[in-house]
Structure 1
Amino acid sequence: MPATVPDLPAAGTAPRGARFGVVEEPVAPDPVPAAEAARAAGNAVYALQRLRSQGRSGEAHALLCEAVSGPPAWLPALAAELHRAGLGADWSTLLWEAALLPPERLAAVAGALADAGRSEDCEQLLRQGVARPVGELAGACAALHAEGHHREAQALLTAFLRVRTPVDAAHLAAADPQTLIPQLRTAAAAISPALGRDLAHALRVAGLAGA
């Protein structure tokens, strides 16, 4: 008899892995069920309330950062739970932390919020994200388009034009002229005719007017 017995799989599942003589194959992750997201949100808010009541603000902030690094599909449920518990300020903090995420991750969070109907949260996240380098913003736009979130990509460019210079916009456009220049022109014209002219001048100086 062997000295140890391998852990058996859960009932109703086939044994997998080399110890059972089965080669492990990569399996695509399942979408996050709504019930699981709601349960995770409830647990997070309960833990956050305990930490806040004990004055452990540093650990509370760490918990929010951990939530940001989790599945983006969980965040809409967490937003609802935080507001229900009167912790809207913590949700604002979480959005600020999300704005610092890498471009693809930022796009994933924005897309999850948009898909859940939290358009205001999505736009707030995108506004806070426009301070990052233009190369990263170009990556975020590309990621949003790749996921079919064209409206959110346009919102990101509009927020960018409201706080950054036309020269910055020209640098951004250089990352993907064929895609970004028309979108930047549309966004600038919607903000003001003067901004549209300033953007056109910056594109000419950068040699992108004919792109």
Structure 2
Amino acid sequence: MAVYVLHDYFRSSASYRVRIALNLKGVDYRRHSVSLVDGEQRTDEHLARNAQGFVPALDIGGGRVLGQSMAIIEWLEATHAQPRLYPADPLARANAMERALLIACDIHPLNNLRVLKRIGNQFGADGDARDQWYRHWVREGFDALEKLAGEGPFLGGEAPDISDVCLVPQMYNARRFEVDLTPYPHLVSADAEMRALPAVAAAAPEVVKE
């Protein structure tokens, strides 16, 4: 079987969640770093892989490259069934996706690098203002997510699901931007349970940074 190639950036939240999913499922892959800071995502070479100029992009061989982290993880679930990241029960699956998309669609897009640059360049926001912007959207999302979390040890119960995969990178970023996590004991606990798993620990930015 061909080894997949994950084109990613070590601190990209979307890339981080794909690394977690790949590792949890025991999928063999190698990384190719695309530096967002140096603008490598906008090169012709990378745009040929991902028309949006985003990471991650997963090359699965045969000239086929997948983009969008949630689409990649859904493909992994369909092609590498175990361990499940999407519950079999329809209601549990919908609940897991509600939590996951709260992070991936409502928190993360407002706080990614291109948005932070835009509010600085277009509206003159300085570093402090950008940090306040970042923390506001994390807190707003986490306030809701804390209420949606189950009793644990993971967000959905006894085993990690897609929402836990999305949680870990967002918690990493929350700590980077010094968000007070005291109001979110369920999130802190689920994140700790996830990061204690060797597959998740191996995906951490500080581990994969080149």
Report the TM-score range of the alignment, normalised by the length of the smaller protein: under 0.3
Say which one has the larger Rg: 1
TM-score normalised by length of structure 1: 0.27
Q: Which has the higher helix share?
A: 1
| Structure showing greater relative contact order (alpha-carbon pairs closer than 8 Å, 6 or more residues apart) | 2
